[in-house]
Amino acid sequence: MTLTLGKASVIRGGKAILNEAAFACAPGRFTALCGPNGAGKTTALSVLSGALKADKGRALLDAHNVRAFASADLARRRAVVSQISMLTFPFEAHEVVAMGRAPHFGISSPARDQEIISEAIQLMDLTPLAERRFTTLSGGERQRVHIARALAQVWEPPGDNAARWLLLDEPTAALDLKYQLALMRLLRRLAGEEGWGIVAVLHDLHLVKTYTDDTVLFRDGKIAALGETQAVLTKESVQDVFDLAEPYDIG
Amino acid sequence: MVMTKATLDTADIARMGLERRRRGKTILIICAILSALGAMAGVIFGPLSIGPADLLAVLGKQVGFGDAAAAGQVKIGVIENIRAPRAVLGFAVGAALGAAGAAMQGFFRNPLADPGLIGVSAGGALTAVAVIVLGAGVADNFSPGVRAFFMPLMAFFGALITVFGIYRLSLFDGRVIIATMLLAGVAANALAYSGIGYLTFLADDAQLRDLTFWTLGSLGGATWARVLPAVILMVIATFGLLALARPMNALLLGEADAASLGVNVESVKRRAALFTALGVGAATAACGIVGFVGLVTPHLIRLMTGPDHRYVLPGSALLGATLVLFSDLVARLSVAPAELPLGVVTAALGAPFFFWLLLRDKRVGAFG
């Protein structure tokens, strides 16, 4: 029951932007992917989600190649919150959240879908914005709508009761402090109490240290360090990976 | 996720969804009635005056009752052989162009995509004109049944090549660059029209008469034998596009997000491009280039129903049919007994609409 990256390499323009990266994420744990810009974090997340085919190696979900799953089946097991939203059409916020139920079409009942959509909207504190047009929302509000959509997508365990996975690429980037903390607490709870596997690219090392279980440190497409967050994020490892002039104390 | 008391419950979500669906369905019913009125008006109005009673008499004859003789042989002939095929063709062309416009705007995730603007219609017209001028000998080798489908299918290939070409050109790093798309469309249109111009230069007098209506579009000269093959292809294309409504909604999120929702993005894009090209190609083969229907109708529907393709696709098809049928009425009646080309009327309506869109979106800064 793991989500594993098996010696995956991605080559772009003759350069390995991901170079034989191998690590495993466990359900029930919150895993952070950290490192400098261009170190391969987003690429690793794309390979894990099945969006990107690695040139060498592959991602495995419960020992099966992620890209061998039927796409709707995979969509009921893992949801993805990407960094950039491309939606420019004026859907209302509740309609965007409802799109998360698309892979359950014909399986889940409309009534159950509505329950899940309303709970996901409340969880993201979007109630006053539910009927607003997506295109009129601020960056942070849009981000919360997309997170609610992803939550609605994997709200219930898949048919075989396997673990659910939530993959997020810099989910806190557009959020203000209040919602950054609230989101991190929510992800912590989904992993710890509900048994979801959470994998997130994060830049704020304070948040990483406070809320995550495991950390994978990237540098130049390779994995520089991995393990439990408290052990991985040391003054020395952070100074080394981020190429800082002096040791950096996260606190 | 915060401590504030959330006051939203399942009933609220049910209500929001219901409001949108109810509105969507109302709009669809109104559009269906309008398009039916358009078809009826097309049959009733013309140089020979035909009353609703005559129309009923002919319809009655088709299902085997009523007194068709009451309408008179000439009127029956006009209805059955001239105006009915023209109305059926107008309906199919409008529906195919409307649905194709909605599909293109979803495919490009861009509300300015239109089969005419980005050269898809012209690409289809070029191959169709090539058939008229160069392919007469080739087509003669086929049986009449095959020959009837030859030109629409050739137009389909021309349109298909243009769709994929423009898409490839305007795609950069997973996103469609709007300016590149429109400029690529300008270039594709210029190239196709230069080809059409060259073929016109080569054409003999008989072929020239066939060609004159191509560049401006017209429903004139519709007979059942000419209309039916193209209509069959347009019906297949329109229903093919309607079936893509759900995945096309997800596609508006962006291709990566749609894929993570379990949508087979490549397959949806392939089908959208194929059916768009089939509908636009068949429409162009049957009546030349009719511009702006695919641009205007999805916008009007979206203003009323929101961007959900389950309403935008069928609504655009029905409103497209309405627009073409009433435009054709204007084309036939305004300068009777002569006829304006249909494309002139739709462009006169559509081009100001395009200006309005540009001004509106310039104000809100929608074009990045």
Residue-wise pLDDT for B74-131, tens only, equals 778 888 888 999 999 999 999 999 999 999 998 888 877 888 888 898 999 899 888 8
Q: Which two tokens stand for residue B239?
A: 């229903």
Q: Which amino acid is at B180?
A: T
Contact B264 A71 (CB under 8 A): yes
pLDDT digits (tens, 9 = 90+) for B186-243: 899 999 989 988 988 888 887 887 777 667 788 887 888 888 999 999 999 999 999 9
At B367 the pLDDT is 43
At B364 the pLDDT is 57
Contact B16 A92 (CB under 8 A): yes
Q: How confident is the model at residue B33 (pLDDT cuts 50, 70, 90)?
A: very high
pLDDT digits (tens, 9 = 90+) for B123-179: 998 998 888 888 767 767 777 777 778 888 888 889 989 988 988 888 876 667 767
Q: How confident is the model at residue B69 (pLDDT cuts 50, 70, 90)?
A: low
Find out whether A174 and A139 touch, Cβ atoms under 8 Å: yes
Contact A71 B175 (CB under 8 A): no
A contacts of B175 (beta carbons < 8 Å): 86
With an 8 Å Cβ cutoff, is A145 touching chain B?
no
Residue A118 pLDDT > 70, yes or no? yes
Q: How far is B78 from chain A (nearest CA, A)?
A: 46
Find out whether B42 and B86 touch, Cβ atoms under 8 Å: yes
> CA angle B159-B161-B163, nearest 5°?
70
pLDDT digits (tens, 9 = 90+) for A2-44: 999 999 999 998 899 999 999 999 999 999 999 999 999 999 9
Q: How confident is the model at residue B288 (pLDDT cuts 50, 70, 90)?
A: confident
| Nearest by CB: A92 against B256, B264, B306 | B306
- What percent of chain A is predicted at pLDDT more than 90? 86
Q: Which two tokens stand for residue B50?
A: 């035909």
B contacts of A100 (beta carbons < 8 Å): 261
Task: Kindly report the average pLDDT of chain B as a whole number.
Answer: 85
At B257 the pLDDT is 92
Q: Which two tokens stand for residue B113?
A: 């995509």
Record the pTM.
0.88
Contact A182 B2 (CB under 8 A): yes
Find out whether B339 and B353 touch, Cβ atoms under 8 Å: no
**What span, in angstroms and rounded, lies between the C-alpha atoms of B335 and A213?**
78
**What span, in angstroms and rounded, lies between the C-alpha atoms of B207 and B203?**
6
At B5 the pLDDT is 42
Residue B70 pLDDT > 70, yes or no? no
Average pLDDT over residues A218-237: 94
A contacts of B252 (beta carbons < 8 Å): 87-89, 91
Residue A91 pLDDT > 70, yes or no? yes
Contact B253 A86 (CB under 8 A): yes
Number of neighbouring beta carbons within 10 Å of residue A88: 17
| Nearest by CB: A71 against B20, B263, B306 | B263
Report the Cα–Cα distance between both ends of chain B, in Å, rounded: 33
Beta strand A214-219 with A30-34 is parallel
Residue B31 pLDDT > 50, yes or no? yes
Place of tokens 């899940």: A116
DSSP string, A164-229: PEEEEESTTTT--HHHHHHHHHHHHHHHHTT--EEEEE---HHHHHHH-SEEEEEETTEEEEEEEH
B contacts of A183 (beta carbons < 8 Å): 1
Q: How confident is the model at residue B2 (pLDDT cuts 50, 70, 90)?
A: very low
A contacts of B250 (beta carbons < 8 Å): 99, 102
Q: How confident is the model at residue B61 (pLDDT cuts 50, 70, 90)?
A: confident
Q: Where in chain A does DSSP place strands (E)? A: 3-12, 15-25, 30-34, 56-61, 64-65, 78-81, 165-169, 197-201, 214-219, 222-228
Average pLDDT over residues B20-42: 94
Q: Which two tokens stand for residue A112?
A: 């159950």
At B293 the pLDDT is 92
Place of tokens 């990483």: A208
Q: How far is B293 from chain A (nearest CA, A)?
A: 20
| Beta-carbon contacts below 8 Å between A and B | 124
A contacts of B366 (beta carbons < 8 Å): 88
Higher pLDDT among residues B362 and A145, named by residue: A145
Q: Which two tokens stand for residue B4?
A: 């504030």
At B41 the pLDDT is 92
Residue A48 pLDDT > 90, yes or no? yes
**What span, in angstroms and rounded, lies between the C-alpha atoms of B120 and B116?**
6
| Highest mean pLDDT out of A20-24, B78-82, B346-350, B360-364 | A20-24
With an 8 Å Cβ cutoff, is A72 touching chain B?
yes
At B3 the pLDDT is 42
Contact A95 B308 (CB under 8 A): yes
Among all residues of chain A, which has the CA nearest to that of B9?
A118
At B167 the pLDDT is 86
With an 8 Å Cβ cutoff, is B18 touching chain A?
no
Higher pLDDT among residues A189 and B303, named by residue: A189
Q: Which amino acid is at B338?
A: A
| Nearest by CB: B254 against A71, A86, A182 | A86
At B66 the pLDDT is 57
| Highest mean pLDDT out of B5-19, B231-245, B269-283 | B231-245
At B71 the pLDDT is 60
Among all residues of chain B, which has the CA nearest to that of A122?
B6
Higher pLDDT among residues B337 and A68, named by residue: A68
Best mutation target among B16, B175, B267, B311 (most A Cβ atoms within 10 Å) is B16
Q: How confident is the model at residue B285 (pLDDT cuts 50, 70, 90)?
A: confident
Best mutation target among B181, B251, B257 (most A Cβ atoms within 10 Å) is B257
Q: How confident is the model at residue A244 (pLDDT cuts 50, 70, 90)?
A: very high
Q: What is the largest CA-CA distance in chain B?
A: 80
- Write the DSSP symbol of residue A13: T
> CA angle B278-B284-B289, nearest 5°?
135
DSSP-based three-state secondary structure for A33: strand
pLDDT digits (tens, 9 = 90+) for A73-90: 999 999 999 988 888 898
Average pLDDT over residues A226-240: 93
With an 8 Å Cβ cutoff, is B59 touching chain A?
no
A contacts of B260 (beta carbons < 8 Å): 49-51, 75, 78-80, 82
Find out whether A179 and A144 touch, Cβ atoms under 8 Å: yes
Query: Taking a contact as any Cβ pair under 8 Å apart, which residues of chain B between 338 and 367 contact chain A?
Result: 366
B contacts of A84 (beta carbons < 8 Å): 254
Report the Cα–Cα distance between both ends of chain A, in Å, rounded: 33
Residue B65 pLDDT > 70, yes or no? no
